[in-house]
Amino acid sequence: MQKELKGRPITKKIYRQLKSRIELHKLKPKLVVIIIGKDPAAEYYVKMLEKKGKKIGLIVDTLKFEKDISQEKLLLHIKELNNKTDVNGIMIQKPLPNQINESQIISMINYKKDVDAMHPLNIGNMVLDQEGFIPCTPAAVLEMLKFYNIETQGRNIIIIGRSDIVGKPLANLFLRKNETGNATVTICHSRTKNLVSHTKKADILITAIGKPQFVKKEMIKKNSIVIDVGVNQIEDKEKGKIYVGDVDYDDCYHKSLFITPVPGGVGSVTTSLLLKNVVDACEK
Amino acid sequence: MQKELKGRPITKKIYRQLKSRIELHKLKPKLVVIIIGKDPAAEYYVKMLEKKGKKIGLIVDTLKFEKDISQEKLLLHIKELNNKTDVNGIMIQKPLPNQINESQIISMINYKKDVDAMHPLNIGNMVLDQEGFIPCTPAAVLEMLKFYNIETQGRNIIIIGRSDIVGKPLANLFLRKNETGNATVTICHSRTKNLVSHTKKADILITAIGKPQFVKKEMIKKNSIVIDVGVNQIEDKEKGKIYVGDVDYDDCYHKSLFITPVPGGVGSVTTSLLLKNVVDACEK
């Protein structure tokens, strides 16, 4: 087994499975992505989703709104999408403009179409280990560990970052009584004192803080497993704009047992699992 | 400040506040507790609730069902309680008999009457730091820390126990960005290896495992704060049946900075917060 945990073999497998499910059951899965205001990064992401979708037979539609759209108007559009039987998934690109009450908008999405798993009902079901959508990035981390046969049971997992979409859900998932759970979980963040004293104890270290190349080899335990969820754009002297993770990959490579690259690691799996959620929603 | 963190001064304050709120706003708060089958412990608990309620002007009703009640019949009763405008809180005493699908029953309770905060929507809202009920035992722990001015920010909090009603919600609450949050949180449980290596690092140790007097002084750090959520009945040679916590209180007393007694610690605060949730629900 290679030291680098690549996302590609996993996404290949997932897309192959999705494609055959769609063909076999004659599904017409459709995801609608809402973009508010000009957001080149979001538009780039959605184009990529469209392309991936096309390959497996899944439609990705985009609804674009002016950045001054009112809460009421946006709510009406959500309601309309909730009622459309041909729409299986609804996703809203963040950040939302200031006039929009984000949590109210998200709570309005039919939780059965909440493929991004932002709805409190999906989060609650996740914590209680009940059926529902799981946020795609945490799900991608679990998928990677499962694919590469990395045990979590009884191991010390340290998560840096306590966001609603990565750190917190991941902590809850690692506590489940299943094959990717049963871990002893520590969540560190900006208020943590002596962070290194924690990261040095990690059998598995997960980073989700959005600080480019923050984790150096002095911070990790020898032969630990390093899962990098961060995606940060930086200016490289030679290569220009490049994407790096929260981990200094080159620095940590030799000391780690396994390590995920950025790009080509967790992020690519996340996208495939989002589309999987759309297909799941369609099949139900 | 005394070493022993008693619940009494907190419950006194809470009941006083509830009483004056009920009088001032002429509220008629009502809690309905469902008991299925014979359960002396549950009946004892409800009697105690009734008594506490009476003192502040809150009605506690009990609905008793035979232990062979069907899922359908129970669901009908829940629906009825959901529709009754004079019922503000619905609580189901666990454990439920085998023929009952617990998660389906709990999901059927109107989340606005789910004063015990078992509904996934309340759990999700709690994780996302949005409005909703918080499970009473975790809330009681926070209430104690707040009342006794115990800082959580940046401190290492170790929770032993990963239950849906204590360990998991508490972990999520300690990660919030508020006065009882911002802690570095570790969750340990039955699968944790070398538990002592974790508990020895705890600035604040929380136990919720249901193992009588499990935590000894060798397991705690000097001058740490020990919050004991466990309530276990044991047979004492001299005193007969007595209740003890998960912590060996006498053994840990001198080494700890602060420690909660059992009984008279977290448990009593839990009850007062349950009734507070009923009053909150009534006022809304």
ipTM: 0.95
Structure tokens at A250: 């080159």
Would you say A274 and A92 are in contact if contact means Cβ atoms under 8 Å apart? no
Task: Tell me the residue type at B37.
Answer: G
Would you say B60 and B49 are in contact if contact means Cβ atoms under 8 Å apart? yes
Backbone angles phi, psi at B139, to 5 degrees: -60, -35
Structure tokens at A127: 């914590």
A168–B175: do the CB atoms touch at under 8 Å? Answer: yes
Radius of gyration in angstroms for the set of CA atoms belonging to chain B, rounded to a whole number: 19
Q: How far is CA A103 from the centre of its chain?
A: 19
pLDDT of B1 reads 67
**Other C-beta atoms lying within 10 Å of the C-beta of residue A226:** 28
**Other C-beta atoms lying within 10 Å of the C-beta of residue B108:** 18
What count of residues does chain A have? 284
Would you say A18 and A279 are in contact if contact means Cβ atoms under 8 Å apart? yes
pLDDT of A40 reads 86
**By three-state DSSP, how is residue A180 classified?**
coil
pLDDT of B270 reads 97
**Other C-beta atoms lying within 10 Å of the C-beta of residue A200:** 16
CA pair distance B180, B56, nearest whole angstrom: 28
Structure tokens at A164: 């609603």
Would you say A170 and A152 are in contact if contact means Cβ atoms under 8 Å apart? no
- Of the CATH numbers 3.30.930.10, 3.30.565.10, 3.20.20.70, 3.40.50.10860, which one belongs to the domain with range A25-110? 3.40.50.10860
- Residues from chain B contacting residue A125 (CB–CB below 8 Å): 120, 124
What does the pLDDT profile of chain B (284 residues) look like in tens digits? 689 999 999 999 999 999 999 999 999 999 999 999 998 888 999 999 999 999 999 999 999 999 999 999 999 999 999 999 999 999 999 989 999 999 999 999 999 999 999 999 999 999 999 999 999 999 999 999 999 999 999 999 999 999 999 999 999 999 999 999 999 999 999 999 999 999 999 999 999 999 999 999 999 999 999 999 999 999 999 999 999 999 999 999 999 999 999 999 999 999 999 999 999 999 98
CA pair distance A273, B111, nearest whole angstrom: 30
CA nearest to A181 within chain B:
B191
Interchain contact A187–B (C-beta under 8 A): yes
- Of the CATH numbers 1.10.260.40, 3.40.640.10, 3.40.50.10860, 2.40.290.10, which one belongs to the domain with range B26-110? 3.40.50.10860
B185–A186: do the CB atoms touch at under 8 Å? Answer: yes
CA nearest to A158 within chain B:
B186
- Residues from chain A contacting residue B109 (CB–CB below 8 Å): none
pLDDT of B36 reads 96
pLDDT of A272 reads 98
B193–A168: do the CB atoms touch at under 8 Å? Answer: no
Structure tokens at B140: 């009681």
pLDDT of B284 reads 87
- Residues from chain B contacting residue A180 (CB–CB below 8 Å): none
What count of residues does chain B have? 284
A125–B120: do the CB atoms touch at under 8 Å? Answer: yes
Same fold, B26-110 and B136-267: yes
pLDDT of B91 reads 97
- Give the residues of chain A that fall short of pLDDT 70: 1
A175–B182: do the CB atoms touch at under 8 Å? Answer: no
Interchain contact A121–B (C-beta under 8 A): yes
Interchain contact B221–A (C-beta under 8 A): no
Task: Closest CB to B182: pick one of A121, A184, A191.
Answer: A191
- Residues from chain A contacting residue B167 (CB–CB below 8 Å): 175
Ranges of each domain in chain B: 26-110, 136-267
- Residues from chain A contacting residue B103 (CB–CB below 8 Å): 128, 130
CA pair distance A266, A142, nearest whole angstrom: 10
CATH superfamily of B136-267: NAD(P)-binding Rossmann-like Domain (3.40.50.720)
Interchain contact B125–A (C-beta under 8 A): yes
- Residues from chain A contacting residue B193 (CB–CB below 8 Å): 154-156, 184
A120–B125: do the CB atoms touch at under 8 Å? Answer: yes
pLDDT of A39 reads 86
pLDDT of A1 reads 67
Q: Nearest CA to B266 among B245, B241, B235?
A: B245
Interchain contact B196–A (C-beta under 8 A): no
Q: Nearest CA to B128 among A206, A142, A189, A127?
A: A127
CA nearest to A162 within chain B:
B175
Task: Closest CB to A121: pick one of B124, B154, B156.
Answer: B124
CA pair distance A108, A114, nearest whole angstrom: 10
**By three-state DSSP, how is residue A114 classified?**
coil
Q: What is the count of residue pairs from A and B with beta carbons less than 8 Å apart?
A: 110
CA pair distance B106, B102, nearest whole angstrom: 6
The model's pLDDT over B212-224, given as tens digits with 9 standing for 90+, comes to 999 999 999 999 9
**Other C-beta atoms lying within 10 Å of the C-beta of residue A168:** 27
pTM higher than the cut 0.80: yes
Interchain contact B164–A (C-beta under 8 A): yes
Helices (H), B201-265: 249-252
- Could you give the C-alpha distances from A117 to A11, A139, A260, B203, B205, in angstroms and in order? 20, 11, 24, 34, 32
Interchain contact A112–B (C-beta under 8 A): no
